[in-house]
Chain A
Amino acid sequence: MNHYDAIIIGAGAAGLTAGIYLSRAKVKTLILNEGAVGGQMVLTHEIANYPGIESISGYELARNMKLQAQKFGAVIKSNIKITSFDLKSNPKRFVVNGKDEYTSDVVIITTGGRSRTLGVPGENEFKGKGISYCATCDGDFFQDKEIIVVGGGNSALEEAVSLTKYASKVTIVHQFDHFQAFEHYVNEAKNNPKIDFIMESKIIEFIGDEKLRKVKIQNQRNGEVFEKDIDGVFIFIGYVPNTEMFEGILELNQYKEIVVDKNMATNIEGVYAAGDSIAKRYRQVTTAVGEGTVAALSAAEYLNKFEKAEQVAEVSVA
């Protein structure tokens, strides 16, 4: 039978932590995950701020969490697609890959976030052929080449500086006239002789043949458009929460983040949320783990009440 006490949507830091807590408490738990297990942790080369572990690769930390959750009995299904679902029904219902149905009494949503893309012509076509979203992965393909870094936050500036190890020149293209980054990142970038800036501007098109050759850039103040020859473009323009599927169902704020209370409860009874998909200020592995814990404990408490209520209902019907 495909009924579980708890279904967790997403297997990042928050989801795996919730999975560890619930399955350890003997709650029959299923984790449904769209991509690779580990979520954004897998995108992180080195995590150096996880208390108790001086330094660990994101891959390793994710793997440890996955094994720990499985050891306690959590079932993880990764690389799946939830094709339809009902959070308001009782039990809650999920259909995976258009065929397999799973139900549960409680749900925890930990769908996290993903890199924002520019969404302009040519972006998909030249991914891996000049366009990259990972400096540590692809930086060395641009040895002595000219590249652009798009963005004005901490990661854009930090990665721009790190990419000067390889590139002959790095141009930062940013849509505003100021950066949204810590002062030390801004200063480091400004003091680097290999870095140039094109401010108040946006890339509006990627152009090339078998690989990226140039970009079209538009000045946001006067609308002027010009072309720039370039070998590579690295895009670091922040993250968007993976909450599209919950629009109109769960309460979301203006940034499409899930609104939760201090117990990680959403506006639907028996549905909790944690991690980068919720409305919050600091997006870190430690915060995701903390919220995953709270969500799991709240969910376990809900399950207890729910089961008692069910028993009472059964007795009164009988």
Chain B
Amino acid sequence: MKATDNEIELLQGLAKDDKKAVETIYKNNYNTIQALIINNNGTADDAKDVFQEAMIVLYQKVKTGSFELNCQIKTYLYSVCRRLWLKRLLQQNKILSSNHSHEDLVIVDDDLEEHEKRDTEFTMMEKAMNSLGEPCKSLLEAFYLQKRQMQDIASSFGYTNADNAKNQKYKCLMRLKKLFFTQYKTES
């Protein structure tokens, strides 16, 4: 079954970080997933974790471009959550009960592989950022993420001029890149 117009709208909203869309998708699907996890040796906290991870998988999928979802959002999220939970259970040497004749499932292997790669990259960047320390972290965030002007950054961080701030930014960036790429090279 193809996604309906209404669902396409929701996915477009999700790609644009629209709060309302996120809330609607969350509201429509969370309870089913919680039931799945709780009926299979999990807690409500596990359900929250797994569901939010699945939301990130979906988010990444719509974010990378075309809104090609060849099934309903519900089916997709269910399939992803089921796989994620199955994996966690396997790690704990438990098995998923087999009465999951819950409508249709879709194959999500590729999406999950992609997600895993991104997740490790996310952790690497997080580690790198955290070990970078202040004020480097804030300086880089101000320049690259908040896209603030060098002049403005210089005055709010207390540098005497924009050139000094630029110098400092360069040093910080080199350190961050080194921290990130050392992990990246050892991982891959």
A binds B: no
Listed in ascending order, the chain B residues whose CB lies under 8 Å from chain A are: none
Listed in ascending order, the chain A residues whose CB lies under 8 Å from chain B are: none
